[in-house]
């Protein structure tokens, strides 16, 4: 006789297959395809805490995850342009916090060995090299046609909301966890060139009478 844990796991797998079938039908995906993909744009939100990766594993147990990451400050600038928010220091630090949360959330996939992280900047500067990384990761043969989508501008560029506002980052910036990711992803030099200092830890000031 199966225990509660075994029955729960079986039920999760059964329901997961039904949801996967439903999604494939809704997206008109050919069930015979060996590979198909889905793109999700996550721009940072407190809702991250409500989504557990385990749900995805029940529905797509063999799925592979490709995470595209961008320089966090340029991401914040781009977000302000897209949402038409005023680019203030408060807005920027709020978006940097969101960026860190996205990194934490997505990096949990690394434990599955089915996770690949790319830098947006590398994809733009060396598209063939990075696209070959992707095709190798998902086990499909390389084809020059893979570069065609990168030649198409899908979204018009917005006015740079940081133009004339670089004084916003003249003071060092501290966001918990940000420095760690900056170093790991190799963004230190680019941020230095922008005149931005990301603090490793919050500076403490002591005053004596």
Which residues are paired to 115 by β-bridges?
A: 65
pTM for this structure? 0.79
CA distance 72 to 59: 31
Percentage of residues of the chain with pLDDT beyond 90:
42
Task: Identify the pLDDT of residue 164.
Answer: 80
Residues 118, 193 contacting (CB under 8 angstroms): no
Report d(CA 163, CA 86) in Å as an integer: 11
| DSSP at 114 | -
Mean pLDDT over each residue of the chain, to the nearest integer: 85
Query: Using CA atoms, how far apart are residues 26 and 24, in angstroms rounded to an integer?
Result: 6
Q: Where are the alpha helices (DSSP H) in 108-151?
A: 120-125, 127-137
pLDDT at 103 over 80: yes
For 115-172, write each residue's pLDDT tens digit. Answer: 999 999 999 999 999 999 999 999 999 999 888 887 777 666 667 788 887 889 999 9
Higher-pLDDT residue of 57, 49: 57
Asked if residue 85 lies in contact with residue 109, where contact means CB atoms within 8 angstroms, the answer is no
**Of the candidates 130, 136, 194, the residue with the CA atom closest to the CA atom of residue 160:** 194
The CA radius of gyration of the chain, in Å to the nearest whole number, is: 21
Q: Give 143's DSSP letter.
A: -
Strand, helix or coil for residue 158: coil
Paired tokens of 202: 């919050």
Q: What is the pLDDT of residues 1-35, one digit of tens each?
A: 788 888 888 888 888 888 888 878 887 887 777 77
Q: Give the rounded percent of residues in the chain with a pLDDT score beyond 70.
A: 88
Closest listed residue to residue 43, CA positions, set 90, 108, 94, 87? 94
CB atoms within 10 A of CB 83: 12
Question: Residues for the chain: how many in total?
Answer: 209
Token pair for 53:
């990766």
């Amino acid at each position: 006789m199966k225990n509660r844990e075994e029955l729960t796991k079986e039920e999760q797998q059964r329901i997961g297959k039904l949801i996967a079938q439903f999604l494939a039908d809704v997206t008109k995906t050919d069930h015979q395809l060996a590979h198909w993909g889905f793109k999700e744009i996550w721009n940072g939100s407190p809702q991250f805490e409500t989504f557990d990766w385990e749900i995805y594993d029940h529905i797509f147990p063999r799925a592979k995850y490709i995470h595209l990451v961008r320089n966090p400050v340029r991401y914040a600038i781009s977000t302000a342009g897209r949402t038409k928010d005023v680019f203030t220091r408060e807005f920027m630090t709020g978006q940097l916090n969101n960026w860190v949360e996205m990194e934490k959330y997505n990096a949990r996939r690394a434990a599955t060995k089915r996770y690949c992280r790319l830098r947006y900047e590398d994809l733009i500067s060396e598209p063939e090299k990075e696209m070959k990384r992707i095709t190798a990761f998902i086990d499909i043969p390389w084809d020059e046609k893979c570069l065609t989508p990168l030649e198409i501008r899908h979204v018009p560029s917005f006015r740079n909301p940081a133009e004339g506002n670089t004084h916003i980052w003249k003071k060092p910036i501290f966001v918990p966890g940000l420095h760690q990711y900056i170093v790991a992803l190799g963004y230190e030099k680019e941020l230095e060139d922008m005149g931005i200092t990301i603090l490793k830890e919050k500076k403490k000031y002591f005053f004596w009478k």
